[in-house]
Amino acid sequence: MRKVKDARANYQSNGKRYTPAEYLARARAADFKSECYDGEILMMAGGTANHSIISDNAHTLLNNALEAKPCVVFNSDMRLRLARKQNYVYPDVMVVCGKIDYVDGRNDTIANPLVIVEVLSPSTYRQDFTKKFSLYKQLDSLQAYVMVDSEQVHTWCIQRDAEGNMWHVEIANKLREYVRIKALDCTLSLRRMYAKVQFDEPVK
């Protein structure tokens, strides 16, 4: 156990910058996940029960909604290369419709999601809202970014307009409401998104 902990502790950049090829080589050889921002490697923290349940629910809802369409729904095991090629992350859920753009011929990293879903936790709230979205919106393929709060019933669906220039946000915060993703022509029920999630106080 000590050797595993030491390996994880020594894995992060500690100020060193890695090329994309160096990061991918390290990531593919490791038995744990890490992300890379401008060449700096960062270990990924574990999630909460609510985070895991909501991620699974979102993945299932999208899979069911897109069953008859030429789309693939990926969970957080799939890595994403961002437009700035020294950035690699693991979104909670991604959807690709049509041909999948795999990075350097390997099927563990993609570059063309149509939709990204992130489940917000207290530790990642600010990063998912600001830093990640500023990177995600540079993807030419991305049409919608959905954020789902794991501490309360609240979702934000940020979608690119028809001209591809502006982003518009739609908020839903009642279990009877839906997240409407125009690019997929589907709606996701918040009641089902939050199914089996336990909050400190009952929600409606």
- Structure confidence by residue, pLDDT tens digits, 141-186: 999 999 999 999 999 999 999 887 789 999 999 999 999 999 999 9
- Percent with pLDDT over 70 in the chain: 90
Q: What is the pLDDT of residue 4?
A: 39
For residue 7, pLDDT beyond 60 = no
pTM, whole model, 2 decimals? 0.89
Exposed, middle or buried: residue 27 (CB in 10 Å: 0-12, 13-18, 19+)? buried
For residue 117, pLDDT beyond 90 = yes
Of 133, 131, 136, residue with least CA distance to 111: 136
Q: What is the pLDDT of residue 9?
A: 52
Which residues have a Cβ under 8 Å from the Cβ of 10 and sit 6 or more positions away? Answer: none
pLDDT band at 203 (very low <50, low <70, confident <90, very high): low
pLDDT band at 32 (very low <50, low <70, confident <90, very high): confident
Q: What is the pLDDT of residue 10?
A: 53
- The CATH number of domain 49-193, selected from 3.90.1150.10, 3.40.640.10, 3.40.1360.10, 3.90.1570.10: 3.90.1570.10
Selection from 4-18, 52-66, 129-143, 155-169 with the highest mean pLDDT: 52-66
Q: What is the pLDDT of residue 46?
A: 74
Q: What is the pLDDT of residue 187?
A: 97
Q: What is the pLDDT of residue 126?
A: 74
pLDDT band at 16 (very low <50, low <70, confident <90, very high): confident
Domains of the chain, by residue range, sit at 2-43, 49-193
- Taken in order 33, 55, 67, 83, is the CA torsion positive or negative? negative
DSSP of 96-132: EESS--BGGG-TTEES--SEEEEEE-TTTHHIIIIIH
Strand 79-81 and strand 88-89: pairing? antiparallel
